[in-house]
Amino acid sequence: MDPRVTFRLYVTIGLAVALIGALWALADGSAGSGPAGPAGQVKADPKGVEVTMPQAATSLPSVQLHATPASNPCAQTPVQQALASGGDDAVVAAFGGGAAFRAAVAAGNAPCIDLSDPNRDWVVVNKARPLNPLTFAPTSFGDPALSVSGAGSLRSDAAHALDQLSAASDAAGAGSIALASGYRSYETQVQTYSGQIATYGQAQGDALSARPGHSEHQTGLAADVVSCAGGCGDIDSFGGTAAGAWAAENGWQYGFIVRYVAGQTPVTGYDPEPWHLRYVGVPLATAYHDGGFTTLEQFFALAAAPAYLG
């Protein structure tokens, strides 16, 4: 038998025995000052009422703490090969799928997975996790088939996925989805941010614009989108459109999650932005959806990032 399975079996048996002991104790306690069970010790509490101490609590089987710990997926050849070949989906598959990948990373059991690597689908950028390097730029770019003027590009695989998302939304009767703002360079963000700060001051500027090097848009994986049913709307109205509702419900099938949702501002550091879709790839988006997650921070068991660190 796999040593890990053996270990879990012992722990399970131990927990079961402990549970039975606890239930025994409850049952005895509810009997008040009744006679002690055959195996119980009898003690007097300060009020003079006899309390029965459960015997089971002193007879647990020992847990084998020296048992082999869970193996490191990063030590496995398929994971190493997938990491070397560069395909993010292949890496996730080598871990055993999105849920297994997430579980290993969240448990701190995947040292080969760097959540700060901006070239990977699993990168997490927030106010406490700037891009590394700060001036990072993607190496591949693609233009979605449908975009508004000045929208820019996305990383090529994200652009292709957005095309599929838009076509599926249209086919479902919710209207197509166009890119309104994609990749933004570090230099662009410097200009945008400094302009906001100059006009509105530090606090208001921080609320309106991400600091340079802290915007998810710099990864090329973030897409601010609009609904195009007839004419195209703007990003602020997207959440109230049929396409917005469709994307929130079905975006995961194309590798996208809604990154900033209502109720999670203390975790993400951003007010809800139904228009801001983040590409994480289909395997991870599927695990995110199936697990009921609403923030990438919680998905990977990272600290909340309500504010900048400095």
Contact 304, 267 (CB under 8 A): yes
Which residues make up the interface to Zn ion (CB under 5 A)?
224, 276
Considering the complex, state which of residue 157 and residue 224 has its C-beta at the smaller distance from Zn ion.
224
CB 101: neighbour CB atoms within 10 A? Answer: 25
- Active-site position among 50, 216, 249, 273: 273
What minimum distance in Å lies between the beta carbon of 180 and Zn ion? 9
What minimum distance in Å lies between the beta carbon of 240 and Zn ion? 17
Considering the complex, state which of residue 236 and residue 249 has its C-beta at the smaller distance from Zn ion.
236
CA of 34: how far to CAs of 28, 49, 91, in Å? 8, 10, 61
CA of 105: how far to CAs of 27, 100, 306, in Å? 42, 9, 22
CA angle, 134 as apex, 132 and 139 as ends, to 5°?
Answer: 75
Considering the complex, state which of residue 182 and residue 283 has its C-beta at the smaller distance from Zn ion.
182
**Cα–Cα distance between 227 and 241 in angstroms, integer?**
7
What minimum distance in Å lies between the beta carbon of 192 and Zn ion? 12
Closest CA to 24 of 58, 63, 47: 58
Cα-Cα end-to-end distance for the chain: 51
What minimum distance in Å lies between the beta carbon of 260 and Zn ion? 8
* Chain centroid offset of residue 129 CA: 14
CA angle, 217 as apex, 149 and 274 as ends, to 5°?
Answer: 80
Closest CA to 247 of 223, 270, 267: 223
Considering the complex, state which of residue 211 and residue 276 has its C-beta at the smaller distance from Zn ion.
276
**Cα–Cα distance between 255 and 23 in angstroms, integer?**
46
DSSP letter assigned to residue 203:
H
Considering the complex, state which of residue 214 and residue 276 has its C-beta at the smaller distance from Zn ion.
276
Considering the complex, state which of residue 104 and residue 165 has its C-beta at the smaller distance from Zn ion.
165
Q: Which residue is nearest to Zn ion (CB)?
A: 276
Strands 41-44, 50-53: pairing is: antiparallel
What minimum distance in Å lies between the beta carbon of 182 and Zn ion? 9
> Which residue, chain included where needed, has tokens 């409850």?
26
What minimum distance in Å lies between the beta carbon of 79 and Zn ion? 32
216 is catalytic: no
Q: Which residues are catalytic?
A: 273
